[in-house]
Amino acid sequence: MTSKTIIVITGANSGIGYEAVKALIGSEKPYHIYAGARSLDKLEAAIQSLGDTGKHTLSPFQIDLFSDESIKAAYTKVSSEVDHIDVLINNAGAAVNTGPTRESLLQDYNVNVAGTYVVTDVFLPLLIKSSEPRLLFLTSGLSSLEEATQTTSPRYITPPAGWPKPAGVSFIGYRASKVALNMVMVDFTRLLAKDNVKVWCISPGMLATNLGGNPEFLKKLGAGDPALGGIFIKDVVEGARDQDVGKVIRRDEVQLW
């Protein structure tokens, strides 16, 4: 295992996380991947569906971003088996599509910001021992403050007058949590500069995942295949966007703040 790049990824049982694992085990570079998810049963089924991983190895682990105890237990498992990790991919996220209630706002923030921060904080002792440490956060195109004010943007939706607004026109919980996550990335870039950690926010574009609610409906809106996000993550892991460290990056550009 020592000759393999060691990766920890959360939310790996479906969507972009699963596709990232799939892309990585298709690489010429050898990886040992710690794949995490809330449900071990679903995760193990997902891993089994990948078939023969060849020179790559996969190790499933349970992790729930709502629980600090779960995060610490995940760290204990990984740290008992390896003395470092090379890449931490914070992929797990939440998008509560029940309207802008206090509960939904807090749930999105709890997973996308607080839980992700704790995962990073807990795993950093292993990450900074790598000779080439990389730290990735999965954000969203909806987190761009500049684009949010552009009336020509496809993400700019003006609903009819009156209150409350129709369902499906407010993304404030998810959007605000991802804006906050971008700041988490910026601060970790500063904090880890002398530890030589390369840090990014990955903005994969609108993809047809369960996170957005109904994948088939999202496809009708033009959402792409989640595999595009997985390939993007693999490319960043393998150095394709090293010139854009400390930024929010899309597959073909740097995202506006």
- Annotated catalytic residues are 140, 174, 178
Q: What is the distance between the alpha carbons of residues 168 and 165, in angstroms, rounded to a whole number?
A: 9
Identify whether 133 is preceded by a cis peptide bond (ω within 30 of 0).
no
Closest by CA to 66, choosing from 104, 12, 109, 34, is 109
String of b and e for 182-208 (b: at least 16 CB within 10 Å)?
bebbbebbeebeeeebbbbbbbbbbbb
Q: What is the distance between the alpha carbons of residues 87 and 197, in angstroms, rounded to a whole number?
A: 9
- Judged by DSSP in three states, 230 sits in helix
Please check whether residue 92 is in contact with residue 61, taking contact to mean a CB–CB distance below 8 angstroms: no
